[in-house]
Amino acid sequence: MEKSAFKALLVGICLVLAHAGASAQELTISAAASLTNAFQSVGQAFEKARPGSKLHFNFAASGPLLAQIQQGAPVDVFASADQATMDRAAGGNLLAVDSRADFAANALVLVVPASAVSVPQNLRELTGPAFKRIATGTPAAVPAGRYTEEAMAQAGLTADLQPKWIYGESVRQVLNYVARGEVDAGFVYRTDAMIEKDKVHVVLTVPTGSRVSYPIAAIAASKQGALAREFIAFVRGPQGQAILERFGFSRP
């Protein structure tokens, strides 16, 4: 009896190992937090179009995603929400040659809670007393925060707004702060605002110094180079672009 239990255990271990060995078609994709819903949808379409493949997504702000890749995280594809983060990856020779391409564009918007009493007509009104707390991403790690910083500098509001900032770890946290009404206003992407349509109200599109564009690239250390490039082609192809458009992204 004990022997057969032992055999069953062995068989079980073999099955688990065999399963782990069958990961030939698996892809790990680190993608900017603002891509969460769109990429999950693109991923499902890709898995359907390419039977046998399995995608794993890792969503966070672009900064920490890059830090993970720099530390050797087993990532195959990286999609960031700004060019600066991808430039840093390229500078560290982390990207597979010629795999980088822009695949989508977005816009920074100013949002307020849907129930807000005071709604600013322009950026300057944010300096008024009705807006005590304004959320954006941590500029050092979150592209949306960096775009915001640029835009505020352009509008000459940097000093006036300094004491009001509440920094989120990712653009989705900023969205959550606004949706909960914990802050009076916040800066997120147009596509994020669409997700919480009922809870946040878009006031205006913020002119940013650099265009909000999303680059994607295969990681040099990936063992799934071919599949990684296939996924990138899919994202940039008609099916991928149609899904991204449905989630509010525009063409690169």
Partner 1 sequence: MFTPLWLTLKVALLATLFAGLAGMALGWWMSRRRFAGHSVVDAALMLPMVLPPTVLGYYLLVLIGRRGLLGQYLDAWFGINLIFTWQGAVIAAAIVSLPLVYKGARAAFEDVDPRFAQAARTLGATELEVFVRVSLPLAVRGIASGLMLAFARAMGEFGATLMIAGNLPGKTQTLSIAVYEAVQAGNDAQALWLTLVISVVCITVLVISSRLLQARH
DSSP letter string over 233-252?
Answer: HHHHSHHHHHHHHHTT-B--
Q: State in angstroms the smallest separation of the CB of 207 from partner 1.
A: 26
141 binds partner 1 (CB under 8 A): yes
Q: Which is nearer to partner 1, 43 or 63 (CB)?
A: 63
Dist. CA 101–CA 79, nearest whole Å: 10
Q: How far is the CB of 79 from partner 1 (least distance, A)?
A: 17
Pick the closer one to partner 1 by CB: 181 or 225: 181
Decide if 178 contacts 186 (C-beta within 8 A). Answer: yes
Residues 161-190 that bind partner 1 (CB under 8 A): 165-169, 180-182
> Which residue type, as a one-letter code, is found at position 65?
L
**Residue 110 Cβ vs partner 1, minimum distance, rounded to whole Å:** 19
x/- mask, partner 1, residues 87-116, rule CB under 8 A, reads -x----------------------------
- Give the C-alpha distances (Å, rounded to integers) separating 206 from 63, 83, 192, 199: 22, 18, 14, 20
C-alpha 62/C-alpha 81 separation (Å) is 6
| Residue placing its CB nearer to partner 1 in the complex, 137 or 248 | 137
* CB 200 within 8 Å of CB 178: yes
How many residues at the interface with partner 1, by CB under 8 A? 19
